[in-house]
Amino acid sequence: MEIIFWNKKVDNFVNDLDRITSSHVRKTIMALEKFGYLLEMPDSKSLGKGLFELRTLGKNQIRILYIFHSNKAYIVHGFIKKAWKISLRDINYARRIQKEISRLV
C-alpha cells in the first residue's frame, strides 16, 4: 500500500525524533505499508469514522494518525502521547485534514 505524508509537518515530526524512536516509528510505518487495512493491535487502532492511529511503544509513546483513501494510506498527524487519552485537539486536527483529503483527492 502506498503511504503518503499529507504535509511536511508530519514528515518533519518523524525526522526530528531521536534516532531510536524514529527507527521504531519507521518500522511501524513500513508495517502499515506492507499490511495496509489488515494491520491491527498493537500496531494500529481505529479511532472511528475512518481515522486510525499507528502506535509506537518505547521510551516515548508516539502516535501517528492516518486515514485510508483511494487505496492509499495518508499520514496526517503525529505527536508524542503524554496523557491517557488522545486530546480532542489532535483528533479534530486530523479530522479536518481527513475532510480536506476527501474533497481534494
Q: Determine the straight-line distance between the first and last CA of the chain, rounded to whole angstroms.
A: 16
User: What does the pLDDT read at residue 85?
Assistant: 87
User: What does the pLDDT read at residue 60?
Assistant: 83
What confidence tens digit (pLDDT) does each residue in 46-100 have? 999 999 999 998 778 999 999 999 999 999 999 998 888 888 999 999 999 999 9
| CATH code, domain carrying 84 | 3.30.2310.20
The answer to whether the CB of 72 falls within 8 A of the CB of 4 is yes
* Tally of structural domains, the chain: 1
User: What does the pLDDT read at residue 59?
Assistant: 78
Give the structural domain span for 31.
2-104
Task: Determine phi and psi for 35, rounding to 5 degrees.
Answer: -100, -20
pLDDT band at 28 (very low <50, low <70, confident <90, very high): very high
User: What does the pLDDT read at residue 105?
Assistant: 72
User: What does the pLDDT read at residue 76?
Assistant: 96
